[in-house]
Amino acid sequence: MARRTRFVDSDILIIGGGFGGCGAAYESRYWGRDLKIVLVEKANIERSGAVAHGLSAINCYMGMRWNENQPEDFVRYARGDLMGLVREDLIFDIARHVDSTVHKFEEWGLPIMKNPQTGRYLREGKWQIMIHGESYKPIIAEAARKAASEVYNRIMVTHLLTDQTDPNRIAGAVGFSVRSGDFYVFRAKAVIVAAGGASHIYRPRAIGEGTGRTWYAPWSSASAYGLLIPTGAKMIQMENRIVLARFKDGYGPVGAWFLLLKSQATNAYGESYEAKYLDQLREMVGEKYIQSQPFPTCLRNHAMIEEMKAGRGPIYMHTQHVLDTKEKEEIGWEDFLDMTIGQAVVWASQNIDPKERPSELITSEPYVMGSHATCSGAWASGPEDVAPSDYHWGYNRMTTVQGLFGAGDTIGGSAHKFSSGSFTEGRLAGKAAVKYVLDRKGDEPRLDEIRIKKLEQTIFKPLENYRVGRNEIVAGTVAPGYLLPLHGLQRLEKLMDEYVGGYSTFYVTNEPLLNRGLELLTMLKEDLEHLGAEDLHQLQRAWELHHRVLTAEAVIRHTLFRQETRWPGYYYRADYPKLNDAEWHVFVASQYDANTGEWHMSKLPVHHIVEQK
């Protein structure tokens, strides 16, 4: 069947149908009643994004209606957890609006658990509320579908387009249908990237048939960054990858068990271990960060990692001590059945009854994202009423490329968004994008038709590589003429794991290791020209790999540039083992020149706009 080229015009193009993209669609329609709003999703908006298979808690909720928390409190919390380095203006902006988002979710039908004594939402922790969330995503997707002019499912967006005469102005995007193979050209006056962050750039602990069993959504293929970086958008904190403590093998979350059920973790000998590393951590990061409440996530990881290195594993979560009522047992099981059903399967397959015996904990492989407890992503303009002057150069959540906005994983510096915060940031980006478009009526960007034609040839080249190269082999999958996406992915995961601080090195790296990793990554980038795709599904995998490789390079370059260990427990620079506030209380920023392949690294100031209590 001949491939067709389809042109889609829009005022606002939203890339990614997760919570950030759904929020952008919903809010864009409210402010832009007559605008054409197009949402493009790689999978199907009904069950896509990091919350595709459900969630057991909303992890960002202030509770201002009951005076439980204030936005300033949330900024202090995020700042302490990220060892001092966050965009406080962006976090404050989300915090002051997020409660209204959660209330909308409840109005739309999301069941939120209530505390029978107070009638308030049932708190898991200071910032988290418990939900019956198996159908969380379909509820939110319905609102986005109704708001958008058009929703295009099963479209893999591969490249953003910039204006023919102004390379620093966005003009649209291109991609292909993973069902029909049609080539899509999306023309837009503004673009909001709300795609996913990066899982599977590091080798996962799960292997073989279980490789897809990761904590963060395995289909989050770094498009949030792989799309932006080639435009020259400034990126920050790409070194700030996250490592999670999780139930072993199933990657089940630990939050509800620690915070709501008050379960305890010990080493194999029944000993609590976190306190024994406080003096060591004081030496590494200083007293100020040790005193942060709650204790920073990365430092909790550090204690577990050190305990494992000392040979006192496994680490156990003592579930058997807290499931003493039917209500608690239901919460414990639903925590997994709502969002990580694989962990319940692991319990069954390993003959574990959580009421009778503990379960192992382990630290995960690293992930790169801007919506969870880390800050990777684009440098974005902040809200004009809060942001310091050098954090505000245009419209809220607009990157350094004119008309290119972001939400969720895409935006850097604003950790602890999670689902509700990502939707809220999508709303903020949507409102700003509408204003950007309305302010420029009649001033439309122009597409470079020659560039689009070249991109079409580039995008579909892996199909041709396979068509020609498969004739050189009679069996098997290893061919002299092409590289399969899976093989490229395995090469990427191996080099990132071994050279850039993965779990096999206990998250330790140094300058020689990073430089060697960069050398190997350069070789892999050269081989991507020879990717072979058997079908459209593999073509999608090929372009996911492109996005992952570009993101991985940003991670290496940022880690190399920051000459300190800012987040022990997430990664360690063995040659710079301590936190160094005197030199590195700054954001690390990068800009990539797609024409030359060069990276420009710099430091950006960290401004504290909320006073410490």
Residue 68 among the catalytic residues: no
Q: Which of 123, 203, 372, 548 is catalytic?
A: 372
Return all residues near 109 (Cβ < 8 A) that are at least 6 apart: 139
Residue 59 among the catalytic residues: yes
Cβ-count burial of 175 within 10 angstroms (0-12 exposed, 13-18 middle, 19+ buried)? buried
Annotate 259-293 with b (16+ C-beta within 10 A) or e (fewer). Answer: bbbebebbbeeeeebbeebeeebeebbeeebeebe
Residue 182 among the catalytic residues: no
Question: Which is it for strands 404-406 and 183-193: parallel, antiparallel or unpaired?
Answer: parallel
Average pLDDT over residues 29-33: 98
Decide: pTM greater than 0.85. yes
* 3-class secondary structure, 406: strand
- Single-letter code of the amino acid located at 458: T
Residue 471 among the catalytic residues: no
Per-residue pLDDT band for 257 (boundaries 50, 70, 90) equals confident
Q: What is the pLDDT of residues 384-407, one digit of tens each?
A: 999 999 999 999 999 999 999 999
Per-residue pLDDT band for 1 (boundaries 50, 70, 90) equals low
Q: Which of 79, 187, 246, 558 is catalytic?
A: 246
Return the pLDDT at 261.
Answer: 86
Return the pLDDT at 338.
Answer: 80
Q: Which of 267, 292, 359, 419 is catalytic?
A: 419
Q: Which of 223-232, 256-265, 327-336, 543-552 has the lowest mean pLDDT?
A: 327-336
Residue 199 among the catalytic residues: no
Q: What is the pLDDT of residues 114-137, one digit of tens each?
A: 999 999 999 989 999 999 999 999
Average pLDDT over residues 512-535: 98
Contact 177, 184 (CB under 8 A): yes
The one-character DSSP state at 506 is T
**Structural domains in the chain plus CATH codes:** 3-238+367-438 (3.50.50.60), 244-363 (3.90.700.10), 447-603 (1.20.58.100)
Return the pLDDT at 300.
Answer: 94
Return the pLDDT at 506.
Answer: 98
Q: Which of 11, 163, 249, 335 is catalytic?
A: 335
Q: Quick one: tokens of 140?
A: 């939110």
Residue 372 among the catalytic residues: yes
Return the pLDDT at 344.
Answer: 87
Residue 246 among the catalytic residues: yes
